[in-house]
């Protein structure tokens, strides 16, 4: 692939971005991707295609919505996440990209909380679903092997979002930190269209932005 353009006109959320790339694969490539993701050595982590052909990351057999209902939470440091990624069995280039994405997240969280990167503890962005989707996205970019990655300006949505840190404006502080210097707009949809993880994926991979 000569060039990959990530369409962020509808936002940038982790599962949304993963499935944007899945749509570019043929049936054989999708099957290979699912096998490779399933072979990752992350305890409890799996993935499947749902009835609509969308790839869904599972943790201990639960979807992210089900896990949220069960109040399953993880609090991980950047080092914790990097250990999980490094031991996952993902190809070195994929692991390096995933850790690069988490480096972006850690710097944004550190700035938002006035803390050192080493003292940052991830909440939602460090759970199994976030790690799984980040690795999946990195695997897909690696499989597509574009010569260049670009993105369109990012729709953020507007209003407020409830998270582990309470009720926050959209874009949330960490997301806003990642978006600095990147073209983005609120749009006319109330709600969080761009999450920290989605913004970090675009920040890490996009070499330029196009209208």
Q: Is 0.85 topped by the overall pTM?
A: yes
Confidence of residue 48 (pLDDT cuts 50, 70, 90): very high
Output the pLDDT for position 74. Answer: 73
Output the pLDDT for position 105. Answer: 96
pLDDT digits (tens, 9 = 90+) for 125-183: 999 999 999 999 999 999 999 999 999 999 999 999 887 768 899 999 999 999 999 99
- Mean residue pLDDT across the chain: 94
Output the pLDDT for position 72. Answer: 60
Specify the DSSP class assigned to residue 196.
H
pLDDT digits (tens, 9 = 90+) for 83-126: 999 999 999 999 999 999 999 999 999 999 898 998 898 988 99
CA distances from 143 to 67, 196, 208 (A): 29, 24, 21
22 within 8 A of 34, measured Cβ to Cβ: no
Environment class of 205 (CB within 10 Å of its CB; exposed 0-12, middle 13-18, buried 19+):
buried
CA distances from 105 to 38, 62, 149, 188 (A): 25, 25, 20, 26
Confidence of residue 25 (pLDDT cuts 50, 70, 90): very high
């Amino acid at each position: 692939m000569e060039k990959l353009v990530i369409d962020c006109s509808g936002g940038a959320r982790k599962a949304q971005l993963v499935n944007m790339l899945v749509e570019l694969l043929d049936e054989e490539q999708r099957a290979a991707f699912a096998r490779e993701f399933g072979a990752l050595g992350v305890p409890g982590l799996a993935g499947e295609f749902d009835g609509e052909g969308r790839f869904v990351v599972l943790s201990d057999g639960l979807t992210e919505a089900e896990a949220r209902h069960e109040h399953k939470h993880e609090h991980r440091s950047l080092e914790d996440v990097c250990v999980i990624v490094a031991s996952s069995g993902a190809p070195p280039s994929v692991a390096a990209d995933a850790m690069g994405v988490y480096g972006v997240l850690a710097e944004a969280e550190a700035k938002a909380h006035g803390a050192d990167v080493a003292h940052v503890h991830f909440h939602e962005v460090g759970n199994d679903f976030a790690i799984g989707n980040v690795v999946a996205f990195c695997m897909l970019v690696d499989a597509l092997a574009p010569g260049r990655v670009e993105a369109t300006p990012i729709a953020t949505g507007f209003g407020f979002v409830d998270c582990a840190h309470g009720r926050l404006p959209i874009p949330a502080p960490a997301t806003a930190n990642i978006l600095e210097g990147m073209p983005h707009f609120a749009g006319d949809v109330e709600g969080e269209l761009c999450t920290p993880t989605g913004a970090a994926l675009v920040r890490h991979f996009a070499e330029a932005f196009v209208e």
